[in-house]
């Protein structure tokens, strides 16, 4: 990132006391503003109000205009409303007139007459116009006065306190347009402590709104690359964009610290690990709060790194075996069985004992090997006792799955545990949400990649043989309908998952989310999938949302090792379906549009050797592990659980966007995101212990 020939850090965070000199993008917005200002008909024009969340770049846009972006036609003046007296209408116009006069004197040779304070008390708006605006407009000649008001929130607070009238903006605008088409432009931060949306503003109906959106990834790319004039790895740019989500202030703050970090350590280039180190330092030092406001969770949500020590506030359903009421029917069943078999045991003691033991551990399964919820419960009861006696051993590796033309669950390599009959069905149905779960049998598999693999990254190495116990995994990614039902049980998504936002519904996330939120008018919020998209994968979900969902259905997130084993099997294949190159019949990846997403049960040819769908492309999937790029060499060889602490969680499988190319959707590829990251590219599935 750093060109070592550059001595001064070109990035300037806003908290360093001076405005940034870096400005990229916003061409469309600035062109719209200029068109609107030039096309205004005096009789119908309205004040223009820019609005957006904090640190979105509102002040920088006003500074661009003040610095001449609109050419010599306008004479722009920035007024920070934080510096203006706002405790009454007379004091407001009196103080405003003096601020404007000071700016005019500093930037031109125009001299204005002395203001008469008595007239400002008697008729403040008229005095403001006659003593300032009219003579100033006359002195400017062909130039048009353009007043740029920053921090409009200060004015709205006084309007709410009834110290100023809601008409103040329109009244000022009407006076300005009489003076050589002078104009005004305002910038306000929304949401704030008083108003959540633009429509709630007391003057919303009388002004023209222009929302400010985050920068595009290409614009963030320009902010990162152009000031240093040096080659930067695309993955680094993409990760910075994920952390800052197009917020220019956040981007510059992070780049400033990265520049200093790289120069201090004399690094030739930066990696994603370097970004995580710098980001962690920023959070620890309290230099900035990296969390996007909960009221605007469309973008990256970043918070305190002590993410693993939180209090769970979500109400979720406990697993069936932790519910005391379930013991009543079990007790009655056992009494009935005992009354039937006691006479038989008396007559046939030796033979009956063995027969009874066999019946006790044999669950009932259908001919299709799909267990009902009841048989699932019986399975969990019987196998929980067996699990305590089973010691993981180096079991023989079954024949390579590559010999099977089309991997399906029926061709799954299996292991017969010592002293345990074949008691576990290959597939079960999770009663809480109807999800099919597939048995992944205990075995060893090759995790990671060899050093000579040209597609692999260093965090995937070395390749090692790992032992994994039995577990069940969701056959599909959790879909929109299932996650909507979860939110309906919670009642809200806001700070409902370990005191973090679980998700961001469509009204906040935009068209890349099929989860709708609707206020029924009585304070009740309803969540439901868009018509026709119930079976599409649920996205825009934080790690906390995924974890709490799995817990609510009696499951958990998979470990990183479990995920990779379920995706690649025991033969070390590159992709879930084998080693052939991916295409659109196998995975959704490298796509230029979210419209190319498919239902969770689409693309059966892309299934893993165990018959699990959607493990390559579509959405990144959360795992339970903290991320550490140097974890593999020191990781346990038996059921590794990941590092004890960390800054980001591991995600696996790649996703749909264009930048997810073939190397991203390999079964061994590793990636990481902060736990409160919410994006159209991230979803999840659950696992359950037998």
Residues 516-550 as b/e (b if ≥16 CB within 10 A, e otherwise) read: bbeeeeeeebebbbeeebebbbbbbbbbbbbbbbb
Tokens for 516? 């709708």
Q: What is the pLDDT of residue 179?
A: 81
CA 193/CA 646 separation, integer angstroms: 33
Q: What is the pLDDT of residue 332?
A: 58
CA 364/CA 516 separation, integer angstroms: 40
Q: Are residues 201 and 236 in the same domain?
A: no
Instruction: Give the mean model confidence (pLDDT) for residues 150-158.
Output: 94
Q: What is the pLDDT of residue 21?
A: 62
- Residue 186's pLDDT band, with cuts at 50, 70 and 90, is very high
The answer to the question of residue 127 being in a domain is: yes
Q: What is the pLDDT of residue 330?
A: 54
Query: Dihedral (C-alpha) 595, 669, 456, 460: value to the nearest 10 degrees?
Result: 170
- Residue 351's pLDDT band, with cuts at 50, 70 and 90, is very low
Q: Are residues 230 and 202 in the same domain?
A: no
CA 389/CA 420 separation, integer angstroms: 10
Q: Are residues 446 and 470 in the same domain?
A: yes
Final residue before a domain boundary, out of 211, 234, 266: 211
Which residue is listed with tokens 């709060």?
289
Q: Are residues 271 and 419 in the same domain?
A: no
Half-sphere exposure in the Cβ direction for 107 (13 Å, CA): 15
Q: Are residues 394 and 457 in the same domain?
A: yes
Q: Are residues 263 and 367 in the same domain?
A: no
Q: Are residues 194 and 272 in the same domain?
A: no
Greater pLDDT, 7 or 636: 636
- Residue 381's pLDDT band, with cuts at 50, 70 and 90, is very low
Q: Are residues 114 and 207 in the same domain?
A: yes
Q: Are residues 50 and 128 in the same domain?
A: yes
CA 588/CA 660 separation, integer angstroms: 10
Question: What is the Cα 349 distance to its own chain's centre?
Answer: 63
Greater pLDDT, 189 or 182: 189
Rg over alpha carbons for the chain, rounded to the nearest Å, is: 32
Tokens for 10? 């070109």
Instruction: Give the mean model confidence (pLDDT) for residues 113-121.
Output: 90
- Residue 522's pLDDT band, with cuts at 50, 70 and 90, is confident
Specify the CATH number for the domain of residue 584.
3.90.1580.10
Pairing of strands 471-474, 620-626: unpaired
The answer to the question of residue 583 being in a domain is: yes
Q: Are residues 659 and 628 in the same domain?
A: yes
Q: How many domains does the chain have?
A: 3
Q: Are residues 164 and 311 in the same domain?
A: no
Whole-angstrom CA distances from 176 to 48, 143, 170, 452 are: 13, 13, 10, 71
Closest CA to 276 of 243, 318, 309: 243
Q: Which domain holds residue 179?
A: 26-211
Tokens for 481? 């309908």
- DSSP per-residue letters across 97-149: HHHHHHHHHHHSS---PPP-HHHHHHSHHHHHIIIIIHHHHHHHTTSEEEEEE
In 265-326, where does DSSP find H-type helix? 272-285
The answer to the question of residue 449 being in a domain is: yes
Q: What is the pLDDT of residue 509?
A: 84
Residue 641, preceding peptide bond in cis (omega within 30° of 0):
no
């Amino acid at each position: 990132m750093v060109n070592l020939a550059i001595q001064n850090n070109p990035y300037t965070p806003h908290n360093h006391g001076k405005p940034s000199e870096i400005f990229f993008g916003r061409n469309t917005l600035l062109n719209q503003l200029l068109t609107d200002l030039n096309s205004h008909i005096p009789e119908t024009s309205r004040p223009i109000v820019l609005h957006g969340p904090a640190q979105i770049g509102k002040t920088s846009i006003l500074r661009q205009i003040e610095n001449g972006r609109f050419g010599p036609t306008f004479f722009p003046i920035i007024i920070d409303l934080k510096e203006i007296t706002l405790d009454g209408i007379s004091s407001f116009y009196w103080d405003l007139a003096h601020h404007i006069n000071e700016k005019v004197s500093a930037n031109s040779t125009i001299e204005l007459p002395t203001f008469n304070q008595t007239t400002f008390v008697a008729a403040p708006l008229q005095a403001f116009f006659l003593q300032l605006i009219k003579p100033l407009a006359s002195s400017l000649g062909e130039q048009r006065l353009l007043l740029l008001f920053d921090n409009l929130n200060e004015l709205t607070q006084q309007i709410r306190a009834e110290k100023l009238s809601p008409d103040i903006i329109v009244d000022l605008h009407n006076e300005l347009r009489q003076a050589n088409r002078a104009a005004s432009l305002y910038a306000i931060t929304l949401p704030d402590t008083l108003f959540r949306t633009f429509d709630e503003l007391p003057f919303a109906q009388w002004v023209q709104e222009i929302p400010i959106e985050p920068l595009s990834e290409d614009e963030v790319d320009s902010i990162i690359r152009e000031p240093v004039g040096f080659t930067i790895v695309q993955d680094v740019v993409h990760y910075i964009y994920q952390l800052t989500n197009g917020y220019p202030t956040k981007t510059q703050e992070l780049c400033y610290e990265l520049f200093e970090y790289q120069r201090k350590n004399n690094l030739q280039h930066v990696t994603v690990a370097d970004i995580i180190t710098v980001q962690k330092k920023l959070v620890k030092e309290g230099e900035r709060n990296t969390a996007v406001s909960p009221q605007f969770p469309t973008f990256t949500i970043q918070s305190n790194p002590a993410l693993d020590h939180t209090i769970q506030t979500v109400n979720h359903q406990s697993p069936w075996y932790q519910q005391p009421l379930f013991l009543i029917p079990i007790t009655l069943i056992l009494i009935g069985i005992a009354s039937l078999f006691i006479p038989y045991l008396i007559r046939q003691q030796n033979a009956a004992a063995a027969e009874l033991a066999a019946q006790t551990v044999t669950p009932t399964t259908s001919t299709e090997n799909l267990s009902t919820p009841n048989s699932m419960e019986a399975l969990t009861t019987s196998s929980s006792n067996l699990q305590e006696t089973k010691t993981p051993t180096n079991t023989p590796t079954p024949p390579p799955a590559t010999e099977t033309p089309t991997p399906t669950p029926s061709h799954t390599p299996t292991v017969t545990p010592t002293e345990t009959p074949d008691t576990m069905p290959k597939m079960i149905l999770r009663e809480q949400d109807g999800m099919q779960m597939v048995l992944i049998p205990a075995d060893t598999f090759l995790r990671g990649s060899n050093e000579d693999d040209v597609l692999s990254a260093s965090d995937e190495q070395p390749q090692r043989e790992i032992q994994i116990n039995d577990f069940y995994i969701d056959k599909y990614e959790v879909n929109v309908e299932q996650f909507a039902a979860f939110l309906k049980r919670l009642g809200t998504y806001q700070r409902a998952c370990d005191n973090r936002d679980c998700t961001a519904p469509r009204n906040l996330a935009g068209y890349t989310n099929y989860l709708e939120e609707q206020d029924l008018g009585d304070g009740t919020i309803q969540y439901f999938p868009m018509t026709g998209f119930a079976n599409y994968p649920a996205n825009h979900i934080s790690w906390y949302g995924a974890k709490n969902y799995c817990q609510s259905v009696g499951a958990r997130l998979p470990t990183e090792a479990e995920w990779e084993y379920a995706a690649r099997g025991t033969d070390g294949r590159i992709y879930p379906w084998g080693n052939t190159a991916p295409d659109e019949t196998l995975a959704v990846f490298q796509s230029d549009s979210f419209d190319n997403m498919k239902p969770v049960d689409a693309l059966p040819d892309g299934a893993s050797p165990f018959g699990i769908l959607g493990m390559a492309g579509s959405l990144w999937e959360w795992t339970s592990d903290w991320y550490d790029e140097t974890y593999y060499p020191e990781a346990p060889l038996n059921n590794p659980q990941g590092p004890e602490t960390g800054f980001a969680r591991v995600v696996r499988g790649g996703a749909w966007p264009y930048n997810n190319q073939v190397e991203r959707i390999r079964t061994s590829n590793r990636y990481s995101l902060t736990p409160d990251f919410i994006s159209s590219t991230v979803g999840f599935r659950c696992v359950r212990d037998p």
